[in-house]
Amino acid sequence: MASTSSRALTLLSLLSAGGVIGAADLADRLEVSERTVRRDVDTLRELGYRIEPVKGSGGGYRLGADTRLPPLLFDEEQVVAIAVALQTAPAVLAGIGESAARALQTVRRVMPERLRGESDAFTVTTLANYWEFPAPPISADLVRDVGAAVRRRHVLRAEYRDDDGSPVRVRVEPHRLVVWAARWYLVAFDLESARWRVLRLDRLTAKSPTWVPFDERPLPTSDVGEFVQRAFDRGDMLAPWPCQGSVVLDVPPATAAMFAPGGAVVEFVSDRSCLLRMGAWSWTGLAGLYLTFAADMRQVEPAELRQAFAGIVRRLDEPSPPPG
């Protein structure tokens, strides 16, 4: 069992994350009894930390709003999280590489020697996935401006580039920023069309703040991530694969949007079918991607893709003899 002082610091670290944590949960994380947790809470109070009891079914302990914490109080897992987050952030946010590096150095300097070793063990190099073409890092200023509107619950005015590149003025209630496969999306309620939309953040240019508040609206689904994944009109662009094709599939647009690889584009045909444009490193590979949907297809373009499908059928009908 850890010493009282070490355990008390760990307890303070858990409470510093915010919110109410139950005594049973704290006891489980510290691997002690609830009685020991109460004693450790008393120890922290004697040291001047304001720890409030919260009664009721969701009760437990929480830090008082005016509690002053030590400059840094991290455990090993938090150190790993900070080191990885600060090193990978420039892969999705442009213009913060130097700031992230300086932040990591600042955190590292005030860490105890033991935790500094944990941090140094996680040196990360971010590479593009050979299977995906993620969007380039997005402007940190844009994320900050849109994020401020989301946080304050203020109406956002912006210009949004349509598929043909034409700017269109939009006025939305911004609900949530979502990052999926290094692509940034804004889930928002469009005040002009009176509908929920998913907007690609790299297509959006925020205007000056409106300072106009709005009330919360219930999302069409409780899972905001799934809402983004199933939005076929979320503004994705065809990835620059060497082989690109299009097929009309008898698959609902939302289903195709959710399961197509990154860099695919889904266009609405009907509630039960869609035009799916995708790319791959070879025509046969592209044909294989379409076959994974196990659906009827038509309007297969271009001719190279049709030939690839024919080649697959020929190989299945006339398998090559085994070697030797």
Summarised one tens digit per residue, pLDDT across range 231-242 is 999 988 888 899
**The pLDDT of residue 305 is above 70:** yes
Give 91's pLDDT tier (boundaries 50, 70, 90). low
For range 198-209, the mean pLDDT = 92
**Which CATH number fits the domain that encloses residue 150?**
2.30.30
pLDDT at 77 over 80: no
Specify the range with the lowest mean pLDDT, choosing from 2-11, 12-21, 84-93, 115-124: 115-124
Contact 287, 243 (CB under 8 A): no
User: Is there a domain that residue 238 lies in?
Assistant: no
Same domain, yes or no: 144 and 222: yes
User: If you average pLDDT over every residue of the chain, what do you get?
Assistant: 84
Same domain, 289 and 214: no
Are 148 and 207 members of one domain?
yes
Please give the pLDDT value at position 43.
87
User: Is residue 311 situated within a structural domain?
Assistant: yes
Residue 116 lies in a domain: yes
Same-domain pairing of 255 and 281: yes
Q: Is residue 258 part of a domain?
A: yes
Whether the pLDDT of residue 68 is over 70: the answer is no
**Assigned domain for 125 exists:** no
- Give residues with Cβ within 8 angstroms of 179, minimum separation 6: 92, 185
Domain assignment present for residue 17? The answer is yes
Residue 50: pLDDT above 60? yes
271 φ/ψ angles, rounded to the nearest 5 degrees: -65, -20
pLDDT mean over 6-14: 81
3-state helix, strand, coil split of the chain in percent (to 5) is 40, 25, 40
Range of the domain at 298: 243-317
Write down the pLDDT at residue 168: 92
Mean pLDDT of 72-80: 67
Q: How far apart are CA 291 and CA 5, in angstroms?
A: 61
**Mean pLDDT within 247-251:** 96
DSSP H/E element including 259: helix 253-259
Please give the pLDDT value at position 266.
95
Give the H or E element holding residue 256.
helix 253-259
Q: pLDDT: is 183 or 285 the higher one?
A: 285
Q: Which has the closest alpha carbon to 246: 223, 269, 226?
A: 269
> Domain boundary residue among 120, 151, 186?
120
The label of the residue with tokens 């297509």 reads 203
* Mean local confidence (pLDDT), 90-107: 75
Residue 147 has pLDDT above 70, yes or no: yes
CATH of the domain at 40: 1.10.10.10
> What per-residue confidence (pLDDT) applies to 1?
46
Q: Give, in order, the Cα–Cα distances in Å from 136 to each of 85, 133, 139, 260.
A: 18, 9, 9, 20
- Structural domain total, the chain: 4
Least confident of 63-67, 184-188, 285-289: 63-67
